[in-house]
Structure 1
């Protein structure tokens, strides 16, 4: 982050770090292709610039949750293979098929909608059949798998569907040694074997998410899906820190200190006076709040670096701002307050904020609000020429 504080809060996104993370993750996959998961605006980092950077580093697939996310990437000029998996009845199946987006199918209703949309589009739907191997969310139960496979093969014969993938998702890959990991891998192999013996010829089989990429080489198959690790954040404390995993956090969140003032001992701070000054001191006002994604649950605990010193949020985080007890120090207004980043200057990490808020680092970066501009650093000339904005603000950043 630039040492000169910007005039407003912003999230700087280090695309060079993202590319390095993708290359590191690819090196762990023993030849499997890599899908860059850019759902939820690339976990809050900016989907279009991050997708381009990931492709530049060798990602051959992009992954989104909603079809709207996938179609927005296509509209921005992103090519390559793309999978979208979170469908509801009546969704934009035809638009996705026409945009060359592979779609996920967990049950017969979805297969029927995909096939019907394919007829309207005049081209087959590329479908990944999802198996519920134990997560209990989307996916077809093992007992229903034969019926779904038979229906998919019938749709292939009719020319409306091409089964391009078989896939599933881990429940506890971020907990090394959890018994569900082996059980899910076994179930996935069994369901893949059944499908292939029945005549399915998938291009890719995939189950590995970020923690599985890092710790479970037997799960890599033909394709791995990297989400949080691509952004330089450890999937869980049990797996180690970002540095332990050879990853660099991509987002730095900072704001200029808006006000520094002297207050006496016993002065209440912020709503509810959950913090009162134990002595005469100085208070610093930081113009970020829960409307910007700073978790209110981190009130009184959230860490922030100001003037080279780690501080803690004093009192409640408000909608647009929070206060820090500066212990008598007087940094000039405009001095950077760094909430989290890669740690080069001793600033906290997203994991530190997650611990303070009793949540996970995924939520910390993903929840950063739309009025915080994303400033993308390290875009290549090719990416910029393709339309990758170096600075995006508000709704354009989302």
Structure 2
């Protein structure tokens, strides 16, 4: 990914401006929402498209005691960049880099016996104990160990390995399915199941440093789910986990990314002029068209064709016709802002610009996807470092 520490001297075709002051403020706000728990800033998927290393450093500066990634490779990259402290990774496949993870002092998640066997083998090879967190499937149905006999077997074998000095069980954890849907019955059911599975493990002798199940929505709305640690992902970047639970400002959060581009062309066209592939938009009268030089190769969702909002010259405009690979068109209604004028696709909304949630609504998706999918052709420009 192209990363720029300071704003460049020359204009860019497009830029994703990352406000690290906003990110630090978000972390402090989230810590205040869960004052009795430590906070993990999740920086998987290149920090949800914001740039993992820069965002991880800012989060730690603001008091995040843990960093979280999905893949071990993401976690190892943080270590290679000099990030200290606790780093956890949870998405493993057979043959994964267990030895490197142990040597890098990562916390690794284990959901089944195959993974426990592999991490123990790596611990023997390194001569170092692994830091292992056991994941319980309390109802999400993805990763995690099933309750009952499977959980009993995993806990028992982990304790035997701990007694042998091969590992330390540092955590017991799970993940919500519907915490972003207030009142959903699965929330209470999962909390009950989590408490039961934790109680079994602790009754057998597991002494975890942290027990955790709360993601961003649970951190914001379910204090009973905070336990010892909360894992905040999308909320760190100032995006609400769901419009149903509230907007970012309702929780004291501020969006971190502003995506903009420089207009490539403005031109006059007559009535009846087709616009972009398939002519799904035809000008209703003589007008001006503006060309915005980003497209689905940059992560702009093609599903927002004809509906995606853009702020140009102080006015909201809408994508006219199909979004192409590298560009899309807006009908400027006769205005002529000129080539090089700024087109703001989304940001915090302070200047009246659209937000990532607006684009999510236009594309029929969630705001997580809007920020995470912004591609490598768009430089991340960090401000307020």
Specify the TM-score bucket, using the shorter chain as the normaliser.
over 0.9
What is the CA–CA distance in structure 2 between the aligned matches of 1:19 and 1:122, rounded to whole Å? 38
1:197 aligned residue? 203
Question: SS state of the match for residue 82, structure 2?
Answer: coil
- Does structure 1 residue 81 correspond to structure 2 residue 69? no
Cα drift, residue 5 of structure 1: 9.1
Cα drift, residue 161 of structure 1: 1.1
Question: SS state of the match for residue 255, structure 2?
Answer: coil
What is the CA–CA distance in structure 1 between the aligned matches of 2:136 and 2:28, rounded to whole Å? 29
1:5–1:336 Cα contact (<8 Å) kept: no
What is the CA–CA distance in structure 2 between the aligned matches of 1:16 and 1:6, rounded to whole Å? 23
1:385 aligned residue? none
Cα drift, residue 277 of structure 1: 0.2
1:52 aligned residue? 57
- The normalised TM-score by structure 1 is 0.94
1:28 aligned residue? 33
- Does structure 1 residue 264 correspond to structure 2 residue 251? no
Superposed, 1:129-148 pairs within 5 Å as 129-143=134-148, 144-148=150-154
Question: 1:35-76 CA distances to partner (integer Å, 9 max, x unpaired)?
Answer: 000000000000000000000000000000001000000000
- RMSD between superposed Cα atoms in Å: 1.2
1:231–1:250 Cα contact (<8 Å) kept: yes
- Does structure 1 residue 354 correspond to structure 2 residue 360? yes
1:5–1:334 Cα contact (<8 Å) kept: no
What is the CA–CA distance in structure 2 between the aligned matches of 1:7 and 1:19, rounded to whole Å? 26
1:7–1:334 Cα contact (<8 Å) kept: no
What is the CA–CA distance in structure 1 between the aligned matches of 2:12 and 2:234, rounded to whole Å? 29
- Does structure 1 residue 215 correspond to structure 2 residue 245? no
- The normalised TM-score by structure 2 is 0.97
1:239 aligned residue? 245
| Unaligned 5+ runs, structure 2 | 1-5
What is the CA–CA distance in structure 1 between the aligned matches of 2:272 and 2:248, rounded to whole Å? 40
Question: SS state of the match for residue 35, structure 2?
Answer: coil
2:66 aligned residue? 61
Runs (4+) of structure 1 exceeding 3 A deviation are none
1:106 aligned residue? 111
1:387 aligned residue? none
Cα drift, residue 30 of structure 1: 2.3
- Does structure 1 residue 285 correspond to structure 2 residue 285? no
2:301 aligned residue? 295
What is the CA–CA distance in structure 2 between the aligned matches of 1:31 and 1:15, rounded to whole Å? 25
- Does structure 1 residue 249 correspond to structure 2 residue 241? no
1:343 aligned residue? 349
Question: SS state of the match for residue 249, structure 2?
Answer: coil
Question: 1:182-225 CA distances to partner (integer Å, 9 max, x unpaired)?
Answer: 00000000000000010000000000000000000000000000
1:170 aligned residue? 176
Question: 1:339-376 CA distances to partner (integer Å, 9 max, x unpaired)?
Answer: 00001110000000000000000000000000100001
What is the CA–CA distance in structure 1 between the aligned matches of 2:293 and 2:243, rounded to whole Å? 30
| Unaligned 5+ runs, structure 1 | 380-398
The count of corresponding residues between Structure 1 and Structure 2 is: 378
